[in-house]
Amino acid sequence: MQSINEAGPPNVTYYLTELPPGACCVVSGVDTDPELERLKSMGICLGRTLEVVKAGDPMILKVYGTRIGISARLAEQIQVHMCGSSSRCWERRAARG
Pairing of strands 66-70, 24-30: unpaired
Q: Please state, for a pLDDT cut of 70, what percent of the chain lies above it.
A: 74
What is the C-alpha separation between 51 and 71, in angstroms, rounded?
Answer: 16
Domain ranges of the chain: 13-96
Q: Is the pLDDT of residue 17 over 90?
A: yes
Q: Average pLDDT of the chain?
A: 82
The pLDDT tens digits for 42-83 are 899 899 999 999 999 999 999 988 999 999 999 999 999 998
Q: What are phi and psi of 64, to 5 degrees?
A: 50, 40
- Is residue 11 very low, low, confident or very high in pLDDT (cuts 50, 70, 90)? confident
Q: What is the pLDDT of residue 91?
A: 57
The correct CATH number of 13-96 out of 3.40.1390.20, 3.30.565.10, 3.20.20.70, 2.30.30.90 is: 2.30.30.90
